Amino acid sequence: MIRLSENFRALFYAPFYAAHATGAFAQAGVEVELVASPSPPQTAKALRAGEVDVMWGGPLRVMMTRDSEPNSDLVCFCDVVARDPFFVIGREPRPDFKFADLVGLRFASVSEVPTPWICLADDIRRAGIDPESLQRIADRTMEQNEAALRAGELDAIHVFQPHAERLIASGAGHLWYSAARRGLTAYTTLVTRREVLHRREDELVKMTRAVHRTLGWFAKTPATEIAEKLQSYFPDVPTPIFAAAIDRYRALELWGSDPVIKREGYDRLHAAMRAEGALGKDIAFEDCVDTNLARRAMA
């Protein structure tokens, strides 16, 4: 049995839950137990301690560990979320949004995890704006920021689904920027230790094959059907909001069409991390990524 730990509960991780809900793992001939996680750092700690075999999470954490511990054996092997799932939502319509528009506004970024702001800060920096020049609130949850936007206490917020979809559907918020539009950004993969990768290679190939098939199912299945299938994982999200969020993510090509981690997406994330000072040195693609299993799974 493969013990698979979630990173935290998020709608953009839907393909991972779908692989369980549709029986894809069993059909591929591998038994997978889904293990809940209290937080992303605890997930990584459990993986390194051998308490779980595989986790899903960001290559960012694998790179940062490699930066501080050159002998780290964490490795990414199956791509799922190939683009950035976050949005900038504003209180007023702004169809011609530019990053310079954020200067002087009351803007709240994501506090729960580091990757969203590191990537958005790089977008802002590339637009010629100093991210430090923003009046940024960085210590509130997305739930709190959604409420503050509705109350008129903020001008714009940085959130993922379903916060974005709820705001748009209610008219309380307007889409300013979809971070997925920047292009490939290695966001969420399956991660294990190299020792496990080699010792349990056949099982992990089957697991990756199941994810690949699930990505195909995800691409063609009506969003309402997906939402209903996964409702038990997100009981507080109404089906229409869930389905609309899935459709928006699919239109943005958030989920990759295959499980091979792309160098382009890794390089984009790596560059953002270097610019933000999250890495002290360059970390080679090959040090953190193995694509052999994914290619075998697709064969």
CATH code of the domain occupying 2-83+184-298: 3.40.190.10
Average pLDDT, integer, range 281-298: 97
**Can you give the C-alpha Rg of the chain in angstroms?**
19
pLDDT, residue 43, reads 85
Average pLDDT, integer, range 175-189: 98
Q: Which helix (H) or strand (E) holds 106?
A: strand 106-108
CA–CA distance, 57 with 209 (Å, rounded to integer): 18
pLDDT, residue 45, reads 87
Contact between 24 and 211 under an 8 Å Cβ cutoff? The reply is: yes
Residue 38: is its pLDDT beyond 80?
A: no
Percent share of the chain, pLDDT over 70: 100
Percent share of the chain, pLDDT over 90: 94
* Diameter over CA atoms, the chain: 55
Q: Where are the alpha helices (DSSP H) in the chain?
A: 14-21, 24-27, 40-48, 59-68, 115-126, 142-150, 163-170, 194-199, 201-220, 223-229, 239-251, 263-276, 285-288, 292-298
Q: Is 21 helix (H, G, I), strand (E, B) or coil?
A: helix
pLDDT, residue 205, reads 98
pLDDT digits (tens, 9 = 90+) for 238-280: 999 999 999 999 999 999 999 999 999 999 999 999 999 999 9
Average pLDDT, integer, range 16-43: 92
CATH number of 87-182, picked from 3.40.50.720, 1.10.3720.10, 3.40.190.10, 3.30.479.30? 3.40.190.10
pLDDT, residue 40, reads 80
pLDDT, residue 227, reads 97
pLDDT, residue 66, reads 95
Confidence of residue 147 (pLDDT cuts 50, 70, 90): very high
CB-count burial class (<10 Å; 0-12, 13-18, 19+) for 125:
middle
Sign of CA dihedral 41, 277, 260, 257: positive
Confidence of residue 36 (pLDDT cuts 50, 70, 90): confident
Average pLDDT, integer, range 157-162: 98
pLDDT digits (tens, 9 = 90+) for 88-121: 999 999 999 999 999 999 999 999 999 999 999 9
Average pLDDT, the chain: 96
Preceding peptide of 70 cis, ω within 30°: no
Domain extent listing, the chain: 2-83+184-298, 87-182
Per CATH, 2-83+184-298 and 87-182 having the same topology is answered yes
pLDDT, residue 151, reads 98
Q: Is 183 helix (H, G, I), strand (E, B) or coil?
A: coil
Residue 287: is its pLDDT beyond 80?
A: yes
The structure's pTM equals 0.96
